[in-house]
A and B are shown apart, each in its own frame.
Chain A
């Protein structure tokens, strides 16, 4: 199922950045031998928008990015930038900046020379090239390292130089291929904010590929969750989290509980003593006993003797505490609650778990 909400986003973000281009991926397909890496991927990226492609490894997200970059060719489908089909255009002439997963700085050049490389290829001469490269290096906060070679820089610094290098040519599209995955957690967090801030300031249309949902949700205007070479859903992060379109998306993004329930009425399900509506109506073939998908914050806990569950564990997350409860029937669920309340719920406490609201839920076949 492909949920395409791009049209609305394009209209809404049209004036966000002048530098950015409108990028459209149309029904892209690509097979490697018998493996179908991309299976009719369609996606629009509005000018100045940052879209993250999120998915498990092998879902085709990197293939999509490499086709846009010009390093792979699609078996079918097209990529257009501002309406022009770029299929026949070689990578060197596509005017795209790319930051790679592995360190990709030229080892034989200093940080400054690396940033100036693209400018040199565009025929920018001596002093003006130096000035521009220095300005870009300053933008990522690495002026003091201008004369250093890549091996003298830390991983985070190298990726910042790579970002400056990609942006120096004022690309119409910025492509980020898991640029943070080789870095340690703290640097990753800093760099993620820096990339997003720069991207917003420059208004560069950006396609960002990652398998890290936190990264995708925190940086992107919209996130496309990919499954089997297709988009399962593309939506703003909050919407993706609160209204996942499919069971795959629901379980891939964030933590999701599966709670046993029973289909009741036409489009409702009975779960934990409540009857709640099913998102988008009941899917064909789902009858009788089902699994109901509920977020940890969608459940409530009440300490009562002889309840429907027993507390097994607590994980302190700061203001919230995630409480693990073993329901009768051997189902374990996680419930988020304020730490103050959770403090009284030690392991072994008998509790009653219920539904927090009346929001529509997704149901899946009993696993």
Chain B
């Protein structure tokens, strides 16, 4: 006790300028890092914007096959997202509840699509895909489900770790809720932000994927951008900036929506790639 008091007295007697310097040293570094990172990202964006010019933006939509390419990408985004969530939500919940020891293995498996180059994946898929899928966008959607797996799994895993899913499921069971009701009324509502984050990451991935789409001979939005570059460089750059902007808007949306619903329910502020803090999210509020 006395030692603490002594230390406080000592620090109080420090010359004022030195204390100010100590307080400031961190923010200076932070600013430096922030500015470097910002320059790294913003300078290319700014250059692209300068290169394209504002006129190009107004022209993007009027170019041939832009509409069909964009529609195809949106359609793929929807297929991929729905399939990913339908497959991954029950799987991650099941692993968390019944096979917690498999979590490491799941992490390793779900990282594979990142480790294996897309070119290898696509050649393999084209060799073994059944005929009725070949040449249909559904095949590309299925491939995207694989590509989205690492992101979706990590989002959902973090979401599941942010609340005590086992206890909540047991509580629901003991109150008479079967599996469908437990999943629908208890697990999914508390996993909403994580699912939203998985959705946005999946959409962002689909809207930006080039290799698989072009090898599958589909003119998705990114393929269209590359093809079009030969016609008009400025319009194609404007189109990619637009794509970036749309994705960014989606991200902002999820951060906003997720933050609001989390504030309302006091849950953890799950955003993109939130690292789970473990334990039950809700902590006791005001004392009795």
State how many angstroms separate the Cβ of B199 from the closest Cβ of chain A.
18
Stretch at the interface among B14-22, B36-44, B105-113, B278-286: B278-286
CB distance from B265 to the nearest CB of A (A): 5
B266 and A151 contact, CB distance less than 8 A: yes
* Residue count of chain A within 8 Å CB distance of chain B: 40
Is the CB–CB distance between B288 and A154 below 8 Å? yes
Contact assessment for B288 and A106 in the assembled complex, using a CB-CB cutoff below 8 Å: no
- How does the 8 Å CB contact mask read for B170-198 relative to A, with 1 for contact and 0 for none? 11111111100100011001100000000
Whether a CB of chain A sits under 8 angstroms from the CB of B164 is yes
**Interface: A319 (CB within 8 A):** no
Judge whether B221 is part of the interface by a CB distance below 8 angstroms.
Answer: no
B267 near A: Cβ within 8 Å? yes
A117 contacts across to B, CB distance below 8 A:
172, 175, 177, 185
Residues in B with CB closer than 8 Å to A165 are 171, 175
- Give the docked Cα–Cα distance between A165 and B174 (Å): 11
Q: B20-57 CB contact bits vs A (8 Å, 1 = yes)?
A: 00000000000000000000000000000000000000
Query: Is B168 at the interface (CB under 8 A from chain A)?
Result: yes
Question: In this assembly, does A328 line the interface, its C-beta being within 8 Å of a C-beta of chain B?
Answer: no
Please report which residues of chain B, range 262-288, place their CB below 8 angstroms from some CB of chain A when the two chains form the complex: 264-267, 280-288
A103 touching B282, Cβ below 8 Å: yes
Instruction: Please state if A98 and B266 are interface contacts (CB–CB under 8 Å).
Output: no
> In the complex, are the beta carbons of B170 and A106 less than 8 A apart?
no
Q: How far is the CB of A12 from chain B (nearest CB, A)?
A: 29
Distance in angstroms between the alpha carbons of A155 and B280 in the assembled complex = 12
| Chain B stretch 229-284: residues in CB contact (< 8 A) with chain A | 264-267, 280-284
By the criterion CB–CB under 8 Å, are A92 and B288 in contact?
Answer: no
Q: Contacting B173 at CB < 8 Å: which of A91, A154, A155, A156?
A: A91
Q: For A94, what are the chain B residues with a Cβ–Cβ distance below 8 Å? A: 174
Please name all residues of chain B whose beta carbon is closer than 8 Å to the beta carbon of A100 when the two chains form the complex: 167, 170-171
- Enumerate chain B residues within 8 angstroms of A169, measured Cβ to Cβ: 175-176
Residue in A97, A107, A154, A158 whose CB lies within 8 Å of B265: A107
Interface check B163, CB cutoff 8 A: yes
Q: Known contacts being A102-B280, A150-B282, A154-B286, is A97 close to B168, with CB within 8 Å?
A: no
Please give, as numbers and ranges, the residues of chain B lying within 8 Å of A248 by CB-CB distance: none
Q: How many residues of B contact A (CB 8 A)?
A: 31
Measured between C-beta atoms, what is the minimum distance from A275 to chain B in Å? 54
A106→B171 contact, CB < 8 A = yes
Once bound together, how far apart are the Cα atoms of A157 and B266, in whole Å? 16
8 Å CB contact of A150 from B175, B176, B186, B266: B266
Chain B residues positioned under 8 Å from A252 (CB to CB): none
Cross-chain contact A107 with B190 (CB below 8 angstroms)? yes
Taking CB atoms, residues of chain A closer than 8 Å to B286 are 152, 154
A residues near B174, Cβ cutoff 8 Å: 69-70, 91-92, 94, 96-98, 166, 175
Shortest beta-carbon distance from A167 to chain B in Å? 11
On chain A, the residues within 8 Å of B265 by CB distance are 107-108, 149, 151
Considering the chains assembled together, what is the distance between the CA atoms of A245 and B287 in angstroms? 42
A175 to B174, CA, bound (A): 10
User: Which residues of A sit under 8 angstroms from B185, Cβ to Cβ?
Assistant: 106, 117
Q: How far is the CB of B101 from chain A (nearest CB, A)?
A: 12
A60 to B: closest C-beta gap in Å: 19
Q: Which residues of chain A have C-beta atoms less than 8 A from B177's C-beta?
A: 92, 117, 121
Closest to A152 in B: B285
Query: Which among A69, A104, A108, A165 has the highest number of chain B CB atoms within 10 Å?
Result: A108
In the bound complex, do residue A102 and residue B167 qualify as a contact, i.e. CB atoms below 8 Å apart?
A: yes
Which residues in window 149-201 of A have CB below 8 A to B? Answer: 149-158, 162, 165-166, 169, 175, 187
B263 shortest CB reach to chain A, Å:
10
B249 to chain A: closest CB distance in Å? 27
Given the complex of chains A and B, what is the CA–CA distance between A153 and B264 in angstroms? 13
Question: Given A92, A104, A158, A187, which contacts B164 in the complex, CB threshold below 8 Å?
Answer: A104
Interface residue? A122 (CB, 8 A): yes
What residues on B are CB-neighbors of A153 within 8 Å? 284-285
> How far, in angstroms, from A121 to B179 measured CA to CA in the complex?
12
Determine how close the nearest CB of chain B comes to the CB of A81; give it in whole angstroms.
14
Contact B181 A107 (CB under 8 A): no
Mask of A84-106 contacts with B, CB within 8 angstroms, 1/0: 00000011111111101011111
Contact A151 B170 (CB under 8 A): no
Interface residues of B, Cβ cutoff 8 Å to A: 163-164, 167-168, 170-178, 181, 185-186, 189-190, 264-267, 280-288
Can you list 21 A-B contacts (CB < 8 A)?
A: A71-B173, A91-B170, A91-B174, A95-B176, A97-B175, A98-B170, A98-B174, A104-B168, A105-B282, A106-B171, A108-B189, A117-B172, A121-B176, A149-B266, A151-B285, A153-B285, A154-B287, A157-B288, A158-B284, A162-B171, A165-B171
Additional A-B contacts beyond A104-B167, A106-B190 (12; CB < 8 A) = A69-B170, A90-B178, A92-B178, A96-B174, A107-B163, A107-B190, A108-B190, A108-B265, A121-B175, A149-B264, A151-B265, A151-B282
User: Which residues in A have some Cβ–Cβ distance to B below 8 Å?
Assistant: 69-71, 90-98, 100, 102-108, 117-118, 121-122, 149-158, 162, 165-166, 169, 175, 187
